C-alpha cells in the first residue's frame, strides 16, 4: 500500500510518539528498521504517520524503546489497531482534514475540557445557532455546504449525548452569551440549550463573567482532550488561520493549569436542579437565565 498523502491526526500522533520513544532510547532509524525487518525509509514513514506498523512490529519497537506494558504501551497499541473508520468518514471530501481530525479526537477522548471566549462551543450549539455560525463563516452562502456543516457539528455532539457520555467541562466567557448570533430567538434557544445539556451528569457548564477580569482573554480559546494515559493528552488551540495541536507535556500541563484557574475565576457551574431565584449568590445558571429573559 502506498504511503498516505494526508495522514490523520491519530496516525501522526502515533508516529510522533514512536519517534520520541526511539530518540529517548538512543536508537537510530537504521537500528529501529532492523527490529522489524524493514529499511530506514519505512521507519521514517511510520514516524510521519504515512504508513501503518503491524501489531507484532509495534510490539517489538515498543519493547526495544523501553516502553513496558502499562497505560502508554496499551494506548499506543490501541491507536495502531484502530482502523480510523468512524461516522466522520462520510464527510471526507466535503470537509477538510482538520474537521475530521477533530471529530476523531473527540470520539476517542476520555474527557474534554473546553474554554471558549467568543462563541458557544460547537458541542453545545443548537441547530439554529450552528447554522448562523456556519453561514457567517462561509465564503459563499450556498445551502449544501452549510447544511452539511451543521449536520457535522450536531453529529459531533453524540459523545456527550450517548450513555455513558464523555465527561465534558466547558468554561464560556459571558461575552459569548451576549453576542447576537442569528437573532434574539436563536439566542434564547441557545441559552436554554446550555441549561438543558447541563442536566446530563457528565456535563459541566460554567460562565466566566465580565467581573472576573481579563484572564479569559489572555488564555484564548482552547480545548484539552484526555487520552488513555496522560502522555497521550492533546491541547487544541484555535487560530485565525486554523487550529494547532500540541502534545508535549509542558503545553498540556500549562493549559491544564490555565483551565483550573478559569474554573476558579468563573461562576459556579449550572445546576438546573435548583431554581435561579432560590440561589443566594450569583452563579452560571442565574446569569444565563438573566440573559435569556433580557435578550431583545
Asked whether residue 1 is domain-assigned, the answer is no
Percent of the chain at pLDDT exceeding 90: 70
Lowest mean pLDDT, pick from 207-216, 245-254, 258-267: 207-216
Q: How confident is the model over 97-119, as pLDDT tens digits?
A: 899 999 999 999 999 999 999 99
Mean pLDDT of 123-141: 85
Q: How confident is the model over 240-254, as pLDDT tens digits?
A: 777 899 999 999 999
Is the bond preceding residue 164 a cis peptide, omega within 30 degrees?
Answer: yes
User: How many domains would you assign to the chain?
Assistant: 2
Asked whether residue 87 is domain-assigned, the answer is no
Quote the cell numbers at residue 60. Answer: 517489538
What rounded mean pLDDT belongs to the chain? 90
> In terms of domains, do 238 and 168 share one?
yes
> In terms of domains, do 173 and 254 share one?
yes
> In terms of domains, do 13 and 155 share one?
no
> In terms of domains, do 246 and 99 share one?
yes
Residue 92 is classified by DSSP as B
Residue 81 has pLDDT above 70, yes or no: yes
Asked whether residue 2 is domain-assigned, the answer is no
Mean pLDDT of 234-238: 93
Mean pLDDT of 92-98: 88
pLDDT of residue 280: 60
Quote the cell numbers at residue 103. Answer: 471529530
Q: How confident is the model over 168-206, as pLDDT tens digits?
A: 999 999 999 999 999 999 999 999 999 999 999 999 999
pLDDT of residue 192: 96
Expressed as residue numbers, the domain containing 110 is 95-294
Asked whether residue 89 is domain-assigned, the answer is no
> In terms of domains, do 190 and 147 share one?
yes
**Residues contacting 243, CB < 8 A, separation 6+:** 98, 102, 236, 237
> In terms of domains, do 209 and 288 share one?
yes
> In terms of domains, do 36 and 182 share one?
no
> In terms of domains, do 73 and 133 share one?
no
Asked whether residue 4 is domain-assigned, the answer is no
Asked whether residue 182 is domain-assigned, the answer is yes
Residue 276 has pLDDT above 60, yes or no: no
Instruction: Classify residue 142 by burial, with Cβ atoms within 10 Å: 0-12, 13-18, 19+.
Output: exposed
3 state SS for 189-239: HHHHHHHHHCCCCCEEEEEECHHHCCHHHHHCCEEEECCCCHHHCEEEEEE
User: Cell 491541547 maps to which residue?
Assistant: 235
Mean pLDDT of 23-30: 95
Whichever domain contains 60, its CATH number is 1.10.260.40
Asked whether residue 229 is domain-assigned, the answer is yes
pLDDT of residue 214: 84
Amino acid at each position: 500500500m502506498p504511503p498516505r498523502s494526508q495522514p490523520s491526526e491519530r496516525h501522526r500522533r502515533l508516529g510522533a510518539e514512536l519517534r520520541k520513544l526511539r530518540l529517548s532510547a538512543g536508537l537510530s532509524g537504521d537500528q529501529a528498521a532492523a527490529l522489524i525487518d524493514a529499511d530506514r525509509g519505512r521507519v521514517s514513514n511510520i514516524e510521519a504517520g504515512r504508513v501503518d506498523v503491524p501489531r507484532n512490529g509495534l510490539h517489538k519497537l515498543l519493547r526495544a524503546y523501553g516502553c513496558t506494558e502499562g497505560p502508554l504501551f496499551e494506548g499506543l497499541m490501541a491507536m495502531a489497531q484502530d482502523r480510523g473508520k468512524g461516522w466522520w468518514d462520510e464527510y471526507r471530501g466535503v470537509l477538510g482534514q482538520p474537521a475530521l481530525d477533530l471529530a476523531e479526537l473527540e470520539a476517542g477522548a476520555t474527557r474534554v475540557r473546553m474554554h471558549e471566549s467568543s462563541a458557544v462551543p460547537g458541542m453545545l450549539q443548537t441547530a439554529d445557532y450552528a447554522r448562523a455560525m456556519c453561514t457567517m463563516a462561509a465564503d459563499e452562502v450556498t445551502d449544501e455546504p452549510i447544511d452539511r456543516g451543521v449536520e457535522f457539528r450536531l453529529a459531533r455532539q453524540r459523545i456527550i449525548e450517548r450513555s455513558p457520555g464523555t465527561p465534558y467541562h466547558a468554561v464560556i466567557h459571558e461575552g459569548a452569551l451576549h453576542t447576537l448570533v442569528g437573532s434574539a430567538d436563536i439566542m434564547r434557544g441557545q441559552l436554554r440549550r446550555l441549561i438543558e445539556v447541563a442536566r446530563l451528569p457528565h456535563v459541566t457548564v460554567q460562565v466566566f463573567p465580565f467581573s472576573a477580569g481579563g484572564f479569559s482573554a489572555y488564555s484564548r480559546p482552547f480545548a484539552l482532550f484526555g487520552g488513555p494515559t496522560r502522555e497521550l493528552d492533546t491541547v487544541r488551540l484555535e487560530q485565525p488561520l486554523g487550529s494547532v495541536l500540541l502534545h508535549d507535556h509542558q503545553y498540556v500541563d500549562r493549559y491544564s493549569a490555565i483551565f483550573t484557574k478559569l474554573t476558579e475565576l468563573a461562576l459556579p457551574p449550572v445546576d438546573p436542579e435548583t431554581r435561579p431565584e432560590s440561589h443566594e449568590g450569583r452563579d452560571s445558571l442565574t446569569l444565563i437565565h438573566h440573559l435569556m429573559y433580557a435578550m431583545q
